[in-house]
Structure 1
Amino acid sequence: MPRRDYEDDPNAPKANSLVPAASVVVVDADGQVLLQRRTDNGQWALPGGVMELGESLAQCGIRETLEETGIHIEITGIVGTYTNPGHVFAYDDGEVRQEFSICLLGRPVGGTLRVSSESHEVAWFSPAETDALPMVPSIRKRISDWRSGSIPVVR
C-alpha cells in the first residue's frame, strides 16, 4: 500500500489513527547496520512495523525484521522512543497514521538476506555509508541517535 510521509508539514492531512510500532537498528559483528529499501516510498529504512495483538514490542521487532529482511535477530537494547505528532503517514486507503514507534537495538543470529513484498533491496551498510542514502528524516534521526550512543526518551 503506497504511502506518503509528512514531517512537520503544515499541509499534511490530519491523523486519524495511532498505531504502536517497532523499528530495529540491527548491527552485525562488523558494526554494519541492516537497511531495506521500502516498496511503498522508495526510501531506505530500518526494518519494522505495526505491533500485533498478543505480541510484545520485542517480538514485533523480531518478526518484522525477519519478514522484511530474512534475518533472525535478538533484541539487545533500545535506541529511543519516537512519537512526533507532526509526523504522519498518509496511505492510499485514507488512513493517516500518527507516528508512535519504539526503536530497538538488535543483533543478527541467523537467516539469509532477502527482499520481501515490503522491500525491493536489503543490504548491510557501514554507519558512514548511511549518510548518502535517501531516507525520511525520522529514520535518519534514529540512525543518528544510535550512532551517537544517546538514548532519547521522547521524540
Structure 2
Amino acid sequence: MATSRKPSASVLVRDQAGRVLLLRRPDNGLWTIPTGGLEKGETATECGIRECREETGIEVEIVGLVGVFTSPEHVIVYEKDGRVDEVRQPVNVCLRARVVGGALTTTAEASEVRWVDPVDLPGYDIHPALRRRIDHGIKETIPHVD
C-alpha cells in the first residue's frame, strides 16, 4: 500500500531512425526512459527536459504527450537504513520529445545510455509500468489517461 504520491515526468525520446532512448539505473540495473520528480516551481515539461539532460546528456524539445499514468499497481519502495522508509505511487506525465542537441553520457543516475530499436526492447529488463509507457508511446498517437 502506497504511503505517498508524487508528481513526476518521463520522456519518450525517439531519434530519426525511430529508436528509443534508454538508460540503465545503477541502483537496480533496470532499463528505463528518463524520469524524475517535479521540483518546486517547475512544470512537467521543464522537468522532462531537465531529467533527460541530467540523466543522459541529451537535450530535447517536448513535442507531445504520451499520457498520464497513475496505476495503483506501480509503487516504488524506498529504503533507509535497511527499513522501508516510503512506498510511493507515482503520478507520471509521460511526454514525447525529439533530440535538439547533446551527446549520450553516463551519469550517477545512468550507468549505461543507448538508443534501442523497438524490436529489441523485449531483450531489456524494464519495469512493467515503464514498459507500458514506452509501448503506448510507440504504438498509439492518442494520449493515455489512467
Q: TM bucket by the smaller chain? A: over 0.9
Amino acid at match of 1:60: C
SS state at 2:75 partner: strand
Structure 1: give runs of 5+ residues left out of the alignment. 1-13
Deviations 1:9-55 (A, max 9, x none): xxxxx211111000000011111110000112211100010000111
Partners of 1:40 and 1:31 in 2: CA distance: 28
RMSD: 1.1
Deviations 1:84-135 (A, max 9, x none): 1221100113011112101100011000111111110000011111122111
Task: Judge which range, 115-124 or 145-154, deviates more.
Answer: 145-154
Aligned residue pairs, count: 142
What TM-score does the superposition give when structure 1 sets the normalisation length? 0.87
Q: For residues 9-88 of structure 1, what are the structure 2 equivalents within 5 Å? A: 14-88=1-75
Say whether 1:129 aligns with 2:120. yes
Partners of 1:108 and 1:116 in 2: CA distance: 18
- Which residue is equivalent to 1:114? 105
Amino acid at match of 2:52: T
Runs of at least 4 residues of structure 1 off by over 2 A?
150-155
Contact 2:24 2:30 in 1 (8 A): yes
Partners of 1:125 and 1:105 in 2: CA distance: 16
Say whether 1:95 aligns with 2:92. no
Structure 2: give runs of 5+ residues left out of the alignment. none
Identity across the alignment (%): 46
What TM-score does the superposition give when structure 2 sets the normalisation length? 0.92
Partners of 2:29 and 2:103 in 1: CA distance: 22
